[in-house]
Structures are given as C-alpha cells and as structure tokens.
Amino acid sequence: MNMQKQILAIETKAKLSTLWLLFLLNIIFRDIHEFIEPGFVQEIMTGTLNGNPIQEHMLLLGGIMLEIPITMIFLSWVLPYRANRRANIIVAAMYISIVVMVGTTDLDDSFHLVAEIAALSLVIFSAVRWRNPSLKRNAFDAAVSS
C-alpha cells in the first residue's frame, strides 16, 4: 500500500473518530442543559423523570447508550477497513433512528438534536464513500504514475 493511501485511511479514521466525539459531546451537553431547566432537579429528586419512575434498568440502558459512541471513538481507529466501515454505518444509522424517536422538548434540545443528526449523517457519508486503501491500483493509476 502506498503512502498516499495510508494517509487517506488514517484521515478517514480520524474523521470518523472525531465525528463520534462530536456526537457524544452533543448528547452530554444536551443532558446538562436539562439540569438548568426549572423543576428538572426537583422532579429527579422525587424519583421520576417525565412522570415515569426512575428504575435501575433505565439507568443501565442510558449507560449503554452512552458507552456505544464512546466505544465507536476507539473502534474507528482500531478496526480493520471492512469492519470499521460496516460498524460506523450500522451504529450511526441506529443512533439516528433513536435520537429522532426520542425527539425534543425545547429549543436547545432541537439545536443539539440537529447537531447530533448532522454528525451521524457525516459518519455514514464518510464511511460509505471510504474506499479500501489496500486494493491494488487500477490500470489508469499505474499508467499515470509510470
């Protein structure tokens, strides 16, 4: 594999990892903004959230939902090409459907939701357009470099 293809592979991995970080930070700041909303902390202190009792399995699910993007930051760097490409497309598509399904409650939620969807869309776009860096050069590339 020539140096240019190696650099492109590293650039794509860095881009994917950075987009996952952008998505994760928007999730975190979206949640932090909720604490500023009047009455939110008092509601949590009663053991409910949006009228539903806070249960251990909900907290576990929330932890898993945050752990997956954290893991994708790392996996975008270490997975081989094919697994990396597939994982990024599948997980980003899954998260787009989840964040759209959860929806928003106010204007700052909408702002973060748009940023999250944009980051995930760019993950999918980058992964779909990413070409295997280890493939042999085609005849045109070989003729040009000769």
Evaluate whether 127 touches 15 at the Cβ level (below 8 Å).
no
pLDDT-above-70 percentage for the chain: 88
Reported pTM: 0.83
Averaged confidence pLDDT in the chain: 87
**What is the rounded CA–CA span in Å between residue 26 and residue 123?**
15
| pLDDT tens-digit map of 16-45 | 999 999 999 999 999 898 888 888 888 888
Instruction: Choose among 136, 123, 135: nearest CA to 13.
Output: 123
CA gyration radius, the chain: 20
**What is the rounded CA–CA span in Å between residue 91 and residue 70?**
12
Backbone angles phi, psi at 130, to 5 degrees: -70, 125
**What is the rounded CA–CA span in Å between residue 9 and residue 52?**
46
The domain spans of the chain are 3-131
pLDDT interval class at 1 (50, 70, 90): low
Q: What is the pLDDT, as a whole number, of residue 142? A: 46
